[in-house]
Amino acid sequence: MRKGQYRFVTGFLLVPVALYVIFVIWPYLQTFGYSLTDWKGQSQTFRFVGLDNYRKLFQDDVFLEAIWHNILFLVFIPVITILLALFFAFMLNAGGRGRAGGVQGVAGAKFYKILYFFPQVLSLAILAVLFNAVYRSDGGGLLNGLLIKLGLVDADNPVEWLNEPNMVLWALLLVVVWHGVGFYLVLFSAAMQSIPRDIYEAALIDGASRNQSFFRITLPLLWDSVQTAWVYLGIVAMDMFVLVSSMTQNMGAYGGGPDHHSDVMSTVMMRNFLYYGKSGYACAMGVVMLLLTLVLSVVTLRATRRERIEF
Amino acid sequence: MGSTAHHDGEGVGRRDLIKRSAALGLVAAPGMGLLSACASGGGDGDSGEGGTKGKTSKDNPFGAKKGSKLDVVVFKGGYGDDYAKAWEADFGKKLGVTSTHTGTQEITGKLQPRFNAGNPPDIVDDSGAQKINIDVLYKNGQLLDLAEVLDAPSVDDPAKKVRDTLIPGTLDPGLQEGKIVALNYIYTVWGLWYSGKLFKEKGWEEPKSWADFLAICKDAKSQGIGGLAHQGKYPYYINVAIMDLIAKKGGLDAMKAIDNLDPKAFVGSEAAQEAIEAIYEVVEKGYLMPGTNGLTHTESQTRWNQYKAVFITSGSWLENEQLKQTPTDFDMKFLPMPLLPGSKLPFEAIRAGSGEPFVIPAKAKNLPAAKEFMRRMLSKEWSTLFAKQANSLTILKDGVDPSVRLRPGTQSTVEASKAAGDNTFRYLYTEWYGEMGTAIEAASNELMSKRIQPKEWLKRCQAAVDKQAKDPASKKNHRD
């Protein structure tokens, strides 16, 4: 480096690093400290209890169940969203068969792109309101109203989508997927468009089918974007706080019902933190959540590492 | 998608490194947000009267200082917050104490950091879905013992103490370990509600026994109307019906057994068993309004206002909460829970008491003015102001000027409490044990959705009671 450059770089790094330490690292350390106490959240008086909170955590059925729900989301949300987005993106960009043998999307691709992207514009809070109306448990709900009109559901026994232990997680999953597909479609589309046309054309001339050109060309060249999408969707799956707390049945506070069947780690944590006043205990949950997310992100990045293909 | 990254075996390229660390940061992001929610400000503010205490006088026994400021935070829910503004205006006029007013639904979000940092407001109406549980605040030493206010002379009659001007029993829910730390200001009755108009149309009579109640539900069902509606997303409401049946069947002892965490509060209690079986009959025979188990309170109450169900369970805030949705000729009426055969309490007995807890934080900056403010809340003048603005009664005995005309629902609660006389009861476990309350609510929801049977319900509730009883902190709450 040239003379004076170090000072220049340091100057730029100092402020962000300081901010990061104050607003991210320090709260982390504080949280870890609190997790060793019986802090109740409304004052600064507490007792040191060692690892008691962590011991209790591993006997807390509600929290352990919540971890499983997060893992379930973690498996299904990225897989379903990415597969759908890839499929749609491929159809929009290379799915159509041109007259002159060129590569192009299906008819009306531009319009579909806008249409698909639309859900992404909505905030999670609006999404919750919207889907509460869709899943409403009486004849006034969109789904129930439709099914009753079609004679598929008895008007006296409408489906209580969010009040069915076996359905509630899937109902939430559908919302996330509906919300996310459009965004990843656009992301993948952009990446696909940067793949040189001639590669496709060469494949076409060699007689490749749609499937072959997708799996042999598109997917490998998109791998970086898919990996990014996976990480982002993993974050969504580990969180889920907004949707669960504003759509599902109340378990005292922060949703999670019926009977904790939709509780995720963050809702259990917030309930303990503020509603039950077990804040030290909730901090222990927070630390466990941090560890889990770190482990999962490392695993994800390792597992999806591939040789980069250059073009 | 050209790349500048190095991939010739010399480790991670610069761009890769940046990308990877960014990804790691992103993955950790949700955890971070939640974790930092845990972190607190810290530090203790100084409390007390230093500097804010003025001269005391007969009209101003706590010495609220002219020119000082009072920080008022009011839950802006079913009752709005206009009443508080009216009080504050009067307070400013009479004592020269100006108030900063905050009307909000986010009590926890706004106040938890302030309590935690030792910088709370001076007086708080701690209510609504996002209230901070009183037991939690109390255990943190954040609440002022209100004895001083309650033993001060009443504004209307200085010969009497404030506490002697209140409806008996209304202070109980503010009790923590024998001290009154919250003033539940609004007089509330809980039970069933119906439309007088619908009853007249169908020729139904107010049901006094459970059999009559079921008969009306049956008749309604045959005409395509739901019998009982409840606010399924918040099982708190159906617990009103269940717990009231238990208390009326088994008498006050059955109620206290639950509050006192008796090992036979549910399993082994005949009253509890019969009550839950009676409720389950409603479910089994299909007398619930279709879909009610998954509706929010506003959704199901609005359905009820549209004559889609005959009865609904709620407290007396219902009328004010539903003002806009209620047809003008709806004629809202209150009904005590009908009786099971062989009940120990009469039909007229109701769950009555007080709601909407007002608290004074122990570390309030302007304690004298806060105490004086609360003393004046319990005057006839302010109580009438409240009734006018919020359309509800207060815990002050005859606290509403006769010139104020009440709405039909509120009027019917006045009549019901007159008929009940001393036959009122009030559970306290919801105030004492938030976690146990949640467990019982979850069990009730499972029962209403037909996923568990009465036997299992009893078992689950008993388990919740036993678990709470094991908590060493629970031993200090007891009622006789």
pTM for the predicted model, two decimal places: 0.83
| Number of domains, chain A | 1
Percent of chain B at pLDDT > 90 equals 64
Instruction: State the pLDDT at residue B87.
Output: 95
Chain A interface includes B20 (CB < 8 A): yes
Quickly list H helices, A136-240: 142-149, 168-193, 197-205, 210-213, 219-239
Residue A58 lies in a domain: yes
Rounded to an integer, what distance in angstroms lies between the CA atom of residue A199 and that of residue A294? 38
Residue B44 confidence class, pLDDT cut points 50, 70, 90: very low
The nearest CA of chain A is from the CA of B434 a distance in Å of: 6
Residues of A in contact with B445 (CB under 8 A): 163, 249, 257-259
Check A136 against B291: CB less than 8 A apart. yes
Contact assessment for residue A189 and residue A93, using Cβ atoms and an 8 Å cutoff = yes
Cα B214–chain centre separation: 29
Is the link from the previous residue into B168 a cis peptide, with omega within 30 of 0? no
Q: CB-based contacts of A250: which residues, under 8 Å, 6+ apart?
A: A256, A257, B233, B234, B235, B236, B441
Rounded to an integer, what distance in angstroms lies between the CA atom of residue B121 and that of residue B73? 7
Instruction: State the pLDDT at residue B54.
Output: 76
Residue A36 lies in a domain: no
The nearest CA of chain A is from the CA of B290 a distance in Å of: 5
Contact assessment for residue B194 and residue B177, using Cβ atoms and an 8 Å cutoff = no
Report whether pLDDT(B45) > 90: no
Check B441 against A251: CB less than 8 A apart. yes
Q: What is the pLDDT along chain A (311 residues), one digit of tens a residue?
A: 566 788 888 888 888 899 999 998 999 999 999 999 988 888 888 889 989 999 999 999 999 999 999 999 999 999 999 999 998 888 887 766 654 455 666 777 778 888 888 888 888 889 999 999 999 999 889 999 999 999 999 888 899 999 999 999 999 999 999 999 989 998 998 888 888 888 888 888 888 887 888 888 888 888 888 988 988 898 899 889 999 999 999 988 899 989 999 999 999 999 999 888 889 999 999 999 999 888 888 887 788 777 666 66
Mean pLDDT of B109-119: 89
Question: For A172-181, B393-402, B450-459, which range has the lowest pLDDT when averaged over its residues?
Answer: B393-402
Residue A160 lies in a domain: yes
Domain that residue A206 falls in: 50-303
Tell me B294's DSSP state: G
CB atoms < 10 A from the CB of B55, how many?
9
CB pairs under 8 A between A and B: 216
Considering chain B, what is the average pLDDT of its residues?
87
Chain A interface includes B142 (CB < 8 A): yes
Shortest CB distance from A45 goes to which of B27, B43, B141? B141
- Please give the residue that has the higher pLDDT: either B36 or A261: A261
Rounded to an integer, what distance in angstroms lies between the CA atom of residue B183 and that of residue B354? 9
Helix, strand, or coil (residue A251)? coil
The nearest CA of chain B is from the CA of A130 a distance in Å of: 14
Mean pLDDT of B230-246: 94
* CATH of residue A273: 1.10.3720.10
Rounded to an integer, what distance in angstroms lies between the CA atom of residue B464 and that of residue B134? 20
Instruction: State the pLDDT at residue A32.
Output: 93
Residues of A in contact with B291 (CB under 8 A): 136-141, 144, 158, 160
Check A249 against B140: CB less than 8 A apart. no
Instruction: Give the residue from chain A lying closest to B234, CA to CA.
Output: A250
Instruction: State the pLDDT at residue B34.
Output: 45
Rounded to an integer, what distance in angstroms lies between the CA atom of residue A152 and that of residue A130? 23
The nearest CA of chain B is from the CA of A28 a distance in Å of: 7
Stated as kind and residue range, the H or E segment containing B190 is: strand B183-195
Residue A31 lies in a domain: no
Residue A6 lies in a domain: no
Check A289 against B35: CB less than 8 A apart. yes
Residues of B in contact with A232 (CB under 8 A): 26
Residue A169 lies in a domain: yes
Shortest CB distance from A139 goes to which of B29, B31, B290? B290
Instruction: State the pLDDT at residue B35.
Output: 44
Triad A272, A276, A279: Cα angle to 5°: 50
Cα A175–chain centre separation: 11
The nearest CA of chain B is from the CA of A281 a distance in Å of: 10
Shortest CB distance from B445 goes to which of A239, A258, A290? A258
Residue A71 lies in a domain: yes
Shortest CB distance from A274 goes to which of B23, B108, B235? B108
Question: Would you state the structure tokens that stand for residue B139, as one six-digit string?
Answer: 């255990």
Contact assessment for residue A80 and residue A177, using Cβ atoms and an 8 Å cutoff = yes
Chain A interface includes B7 (CB < 8 A): yes
Helix, strand, or coil (residue A15)? helix
Residue B311 confidence class, pLDDT cut points 50, 70, 90: very high
Rounded to an integer, what distance in angstroms lies between the CA atom of residue B343 and that of residue B341? 6
Interface probe for A, chosen from B8, B20, B38, B440 (most Cβ of A below 10 Å), is B38
Report whether pLDDT(B410) > 80: yes
Instruction: State the pLDDT at residue B370.
Output: 94
Question: For A239-248, B38-47, B404-413, which range has the lowest pLDDT when averaged over its residues?
Answer: B38-47
Residue A39 lies in a domain: no
Mean pLDDT of B122-126: 94
